[in-house]
Amino acid sequence: MRVAVVGVQGDVEEHVLATKLAMKKLGIEGDVVATRRPGVVERSDAVILPGGESTTISKLIFRNVGRKNMAEEIISLAEQGKPVMGTCAGLILLSKYGDDQVERTETKLLGLLDVRVKRNAFGRQRESFQVPLKFKGVGTVEAVFIRAPAVVEVGRNVEVLAEFERYVVAVREGSVIGLAFHPELNAEFGDTKIHEYFLNASLD
């Protein structure tokens, strides 16, 4: 199994390590590669979009290199039912609808999750925090939120996986998973439950 981590910006290395550890625990042979250019995602079995700054990551994935761009490759993997996971800024990019910040910055979204997201939903008082979350199909996970977005509208075919206070913070539509928090940070403490869930999310 080959897993690609979109490596243009953000917490890329943490996702690479978390995925490698999750593969080892599940006994899956393969490799995990961070990539900044088109050509790798299209030859992968799964892809992760890390957190970071959604405006920056969007520009880079939609930028053509030759005749290809990474955005098209990510959409194609999703259409094939292969696991696609976005965390934090990655959740924003996977969504169909954004908020006024997304509009104002003319951030292009991939539209793979039929949800509306709100950037920086938890405000300045709570820029980052950690809470135990009940995650459907996984159990309780310690979730780290860092200037996190939230899902504020959910389409009919979207499954809600976790909620915190009045917000939806984890969703799934087919093989596409979006999380408002940062599961890659838990791998440091040996917890790779979310990455294992992701690796198992193939629809074939």
Active site residue ranges: 88, 182, 184
- State the Cα–Cα distance between residues 27 and 49, nearest whole angstrom: 23
Stretch in the footprint of ligand GLN (CB under 6 A) among 30-38, 49-57, 59-67, 162-170: 49-57
Which of 64, 76, 80, 120 touches ligand GLN (CB under 6 A)?
Answer: 120
58 touches ligand GLN by CB under 6 A:
no
Q: CA 6, CA 9: separation in Å to the nearest integer?
A: 8
**Candidate list 42, 45, 53, 163; residue touching ligand GLN; CB under 6 A:** 53
Task: Report if residue 51 touches ligand GLN, rule: CB under 6 A.
Answer: yes
Q: If DSSP codes are grouped into helix, strand and coil, which group holds residue 68?
A: strand
For the record, the structure tokens of 170 come out as: 């984890």
Q: Does 89 bind ligand GLN (CB under 6 A)?
A: yes
The contacts of residue 109 (CB under 8 Å, 6+ apart) are 58, 92, 93, 94, 95, 96, 97, 98, 102
- Least spacing, CB of residue 43 vs ligand GLN, in Å: 26
Residue 171 and residue 159 in contact, taking contact as beta carbons nearer than 8 Å:
yes
**CB 9 to ligand GLN: min, Å:** 10
Pick 23 or 58: Cβ nearer ligand GLN = 58
